[in-house]
Amino acid sequence: MRLSLVSLSLGMSLGLGCSAPPTAPLKKISLDAAAGEKPSEGIDPDSKEGSEAESGKEMNTGNNPDPTLPDPDESITNPEPEPMKPVEPKHTLLFVSGGSDKIDVYKINKSTGATVLLKSNSTAGAITTFLAVNAKTSKVFGSDERGNQAIMFALDPSSGVLSEQDKLPTAGGPAHIAVDASGTQVFVANYGAGVAESYSVTGSKLKAVSKKSPGSKAHAVHLDPSGKNLFVPCLGDGLIAHFKVEAGGSGVMTEAMPQSLAVGSKGPRHMAFHPSGKFAYLMNEYEGSVQALSLSASGPSLLGGQIPSTPAPVAGNTGAEIQVHPNGKFLYSSNRGDDSIAVYSLADNGAVTFKKTVKTGGKTPRHFSLDESGTWLTVANQGSDEVTLFEVK
């Protein structure tokens, strides 16, 4: 599978740790190549060569004339051909927010990766450090760390204009926000308060519904593919809390039995689900390791041991985001100390195999996202205040 970084689709967002200036172009670079070699096939997840070299070398970030660096127009190649896809819109939208009171909306050509800034939206002082987008309802939701609130915006997809519709207070220290497929319920993880909350959406109004205390330092809220199970990784207590919700419902959360799964003290942060709904993958922040989980009617259970995210230990490395490719064959995670994206292959039984790392071309990749087609992977580099884009082929 190939990565050549370029964007997110409508319904995807980069809401953590990036506040690129409106005039700054999105950076398109390659995710592959060892030092001194120009990749012709991009990142090949099935190749076992080059992992150590790639994890220790800088990548070309756009206009570096150094001939030892790879061509930024090269992309990453998937060794397995993708099936033909139905006709899709020619453009996708990318939402970028971070440490400033704005949300930038870019339009990206899905064929070429060419980017255009549609609109830089002011959030009137709110710091929306995480975003969730619902394409069905054309709404964007943000967790405001500064104001301790959840905010709902209406989106005009043609202009990129976001109009604030409603906002409600959260329990404190919101770190993550999610919206279900129907757009009728929103969930927030409050890292500071250790509280998970839910809200119903009716027209232009939010309504607080449920408030639960899953554990210390609740870091994220994740709905499984069925939309009936909500998982909350709690970094402080080393567990994943499990709640039942109604798909397309009003946001009511009830404790599942068992209510939580202990996953160790590595700092459970974010999760990603296999499209089959049978497996999930946990990003551990403290060491950047990945843990596979088996999902069943009786709840989640550990599947195998922890998988490292770098070929060798990297001092000060921490994990951030994790996502599964839509074809269910590959997994990606970000390394903030190594400034890289880790690539893994996934077996039919859910097992994870580390393949290699690829430099992001920036510093401290706090968040990234894949579009629904799995064609574009976009990285928010918090430390260098920029976004890099990879094409996945």
* Domain ranges (residues) in the chain: 27-391
Least confident residue range of 26-35, 169-178, 179-188, 290-299: 26-35
- pLDDT at res. 149: 98
Mean per-residue pLDDT, 350-361 = 97
Q: Looking at the predicted structure, is the pLDDT value of residue 142 above 60?
A: yes
CA 288, CA 357: separation in Å to the nearest integer?
12
pLDDT band for position 296 (cuts 50, 70, 90)? very high
Least confident residue range of 60-74, 80-94, 114-128: 60-74
- pLDDT at res. 366: 96
> pLDDT averaged over the chain?
83
Evaluate the CA torsion angle 176, 102, 335, 330 in order and state its sign.
positive
Least confident residue range of 3-12, 152-161, 240-249: 3-12
CA count, 13 A, side-chain hemisphere, 172: 6
Q: Looking at the predicted structure, is the pLDDT value of residue 227 above 80?
A: yes
CA 283, CA 202: separation in Å to the nearest integer?
33
CA 357, CA 354: separation in Å to the nearest integer?
9
Q: Looking at the predicted structure, is the pLDDT value of residue 347 above 60?
A: yes
- pLDDT at res. 27: 54
Mean per-residue pLDDT, 71-79 = 42
Q: Which of 185, 90, 93, 177 is nearest to 135 (CA)?
A: 93
Pairing of strands 222-223, 340-346: unpaired
pLDDT band for position 285 (cuts 50, 70, 90)? very high
Taking a C-beta distance cutoff of 8 angstroms, is the pair 358, 338 a contact? no
- pLDDT at res. 85: 53
User: Please, what's the b/e burial string for 193-230 (b: 16 or more CB within 10 A of its CB; e: otherwise)?
Assistant: bbbbbbbbbeeeebeebbebebbebbbbbbbbeebbbb
Task: Give pLDDT tens digits for 39-48.
Answer: 222 333 343 3
Q: Which two tokens stand for residue 267?
A: 């700092």
- pLDDT at res. 32: 36
CA count, 13 A, side-chain hemisphere, 73: 2
**Which one-letter amino acid corresponds to residue 220?**
A
DSSP character for 361?
S
Q: Which two tokens stand for residue 374?
A: 């799995």
Q: Looking at the predicted structure, is the pLDDT value of residue 20 above 90?
A: no
Q: Which two tokens stand for residue 353?
A: 């195999």
Report the topology of domain 27-391: Methylamine Dehydrogenase; Chain H (2.130.10)
pLDDT band for position 175 (cuts 50, 70, 90)? very high
What pTM does this model have? 0.81
Q: Looking at the predicted structure, is the pLDDT value of residue 5 above 80?
A: no
Choose between 236 and 46: higher pLDDT: 236
Least confident residue range of 30-44, 106-120, 143-157, 355-369: 30-44
